[in-house]
């Protein structure tokens, strides 16, 4: 408790004793009955202590501001700091023209959402897509491809393919489309 508060409370107690005239008992504290002149002196001294406490309070604004700030902090504690959200990651998918391939349009879906189209042909034999995801981790994917291949007689044949799976994505991962016996897949490079 600050000095200002002690002086103010003591002054209030003296004024109360001067007005009531004593003759009371609070727990272990007994205030004897006092006469008229003592009551007047108690009131005057009590008012003096109240004034002293108020004066100390106003003469020390830094202490007052500090106490006010402490009360504000107690009543309004700072909000807890939220952890940083997971960082976004970028990865690449590369598609290259196969030796017997004339062209291909590869559509890529991650977590059920279309994210990229890679188109390759004789003029652009390689295509790369940079895909951004909310965080590193495992993601499901689906691939749909339509391409033109040369058959064993050199004749163009339109073919369609699909595939799906799960990829483990970290920042700057690179995956390539590969044809497997189980369909087309994304394989880490």
Alpha carbon distance 136, 87 (integer Å): 8
* Residue 7 burial by Cβ neighbours in a 10 Å radius (0-12, 13-18, 19+): buried
pLDDT at 63: 57
Block means of pLDDT (10 residues each) for the chain, length 189 residues? 80 82 73 80 89 75 58 67 80 93 95 94 95 93 93 92 92 89 88
pLDDT at 4: 79
pLDDT at 73: 65
pTM of the model: 0.55
Sign of the alpha-carbon dihedral angle for 96, 100, 103, 104: negative
pLDDT at 172: 86
What residues does CATH 2.60.40 cover in the chain? 89-188
| The architecture CATH gives domain 89-188 | Sandwich (2.60)
Alpha carbon distance 71, 24 (integer Å): 35
């Amino acid at each position: 408790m600050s000095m200002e508060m002690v002086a103010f409370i003591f002054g209030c107690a003296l004024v109360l004793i001067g007005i009531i005239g004593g003759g009371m008992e609070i727990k272990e504290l007994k205030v004897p009955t006092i006469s008229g002149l003592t009551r007047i002196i108690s009131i005057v001294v009590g008012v003096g202590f109240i004034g002293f406490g108020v004066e100390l309070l106003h003469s020390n604004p830094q202490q007052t501001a500090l106490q006010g700030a402490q009360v504000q902090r107690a009543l309004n504690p700072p909000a807890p700091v939220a952890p940083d959200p997971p960082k976004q990651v970028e990865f690449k998918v590369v598609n290259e023209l196969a030796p017997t391939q004339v062209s291909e349009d590869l559509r890529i879906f991650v977590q059920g959402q279309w994210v990229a189209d890679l188109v390759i042909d004789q003029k652009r034999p390689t295509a790369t897509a940079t895909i951004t995801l909310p965080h590193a981790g495992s993601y499901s994917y689906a691939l749909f491809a339509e391409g033109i291949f040369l058959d064993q007689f050199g004749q163009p044949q339109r073919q369609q393919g699909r595939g799906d799976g799960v990829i483990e994505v970290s920042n700057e991962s690179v995956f390539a489309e590969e044809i497997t016996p189980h369909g087309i897949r994304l394989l880490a490079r």
